[in-house]
Amino acid sequence: MAIKTRITEMLGIEHPIVQGGMMWVGTAEMASAVSNAGGLGILTALTQPTPDDLRREIDRCRSMTDKPFGVNLTILPSVSPPPYAEYRKAIIDSGIRIVETAGAKPQEHVDDFKSHGITVLHKCTAVRHAVSAAKMGADIISIDGFECAGHPGEDDVPGLVLIPAAADQIKVPMLASGGIGDGRGLAAALALGAEGVNMGTRFCATVEAPIHPAVKEFLVKNTERDTKLIFRGFKNTGRVARNSVSEQVAEIGARPGAVFADVQPLVSGARGRQALTTGDLDAGLIWAGQIQGLIHDIPTCADLIGRMVRDAEAIIRGRLAGFVAA
């Protein structure tokens, strides 16, 4: 049982399934579990308070898996930005061979990573951005459809259109992201032109995810309609789970003349972390995508990945093959 693509070859993994970077979730527990299951686990650099903490987390992850894993570095506009160059140096000095980048103007980071022989995955939400990232030197593009958690961009293009549109214009391998959480999604992504998938929300509802059980049950209970788009008026759209905080943020943001400062106290990272760690579902924002509607259990990462690959293979060899006339 195996699905081999350029993604599995380039990353040295068994299955073309990547766990994307997730704030407060991308820890050694999460990344090592995915990597041990044959996918690619990814630590989230900025979850760690300092670059030295990141070094220690990388060492801790290495003690938990001997399989490949990567680190995510997301570059976001900020009044007081973290020391990105120092985090980048920690990643390089630690001997990491795979990095997932995301956010605005990553060129200097990509150049430095590439100069050290690091494979770069760059997350994009638009075809034009994917084309630019490939020209910039990204080895793999992760293309995020409108269904995804986090920031889906401002074009509102879902994966069914975005994935093949990007595949038509870029030659480097591509991961499909957003709205994927089972074997059907994996098979569909391959059919649309991707060579693997990148998942976030689905991995939150696993045994090993370092979040409170109440949050995992929340994701299982929710449907595909239980997300909320926030920050629309600020041209920084985000998709989060529907709760009292996201409802309030969306309502305030829709008021005439609203500015980000009006919602800032509600959307702090500290409040979001509190929700994930305590299970208080209304403590802060819980970032989640529409794939919630297809999450029905809380398996181990090994069971989830194994099931996805088996189901995708069965679809490709069975159901889809049956539609082709001899």
Q: Identify which of 107, 109, 108, 104 has the alpha carbon closest to the alpha carbon of residue 91.
A: 109
What tokens appear for 114 in the block? 């590439």
Q: Which residue has the tokens 């929340």?
A: 218
pLDDT digits (tens, 9 = 90+) for 263-301: 999 999 999 999 999 999 999 999 999 999 999 999 999
Beta carbons of 201 and 220 less than 8 angstroms apart: no
User: Looking at the predicted structure, is the pLDDT value of residue 79 above 80?
Assistant: no
Q: Which pLDDT band, with edges at 50, 70 and 90, does 78 fall under?
A: confident
- pLDDT cut 90: percent of the chain above it: 94
Q: Give Cα 37 distance to the centre of its chain.
A: 17
CA atoms within 13 A on the CB side of 112: 18
pLDDT digits (tens, 9 = 90+) for 16-66: 999 999 999 999 999 999 999 999 999 999 999 999 999 999 999 999 999
Rg over alpha carbons for the chain, rounded to the nearest Å, is 19
Beta carbons of 144 and 189 less than 8 angstroms apart: no
Class of domain 6-210+303-323: alpha beta
Beta carbons of 35 and 68 less than 8 angstroms apart: yes
Q: Which pLDDT band, with edges at 50, 70 and 90, does 1 fall under?
A: low
Q: Which residue has the tokens 């370092």?
A: 210
**Interaxial angle between packed helices 159-167 and 183-192, expressed in degrees from 0 to 180 and rounded to the nearest 10:** 40
d(CA 196, CA 309) in angstroms, rounded, equals 11
- pLDDT cut 70: percent of the chain above it: 99
Beta carbons of 78 and 236 less than 8 angstroms apart: no
Q: Identify which of 215, 233, 232, 231 has the alpha carbon closest to the alpha carbon of residue 283.
A: 215
Structure confidence at residue 324 (pLDDT): 77
What average pLDDT score do residues 80-98 get?
A: 96
Beta carbons of 55 and 93 less than 8 angstroms apart: yes
What average pLDDT score do residues 108-114 get?
A: 96
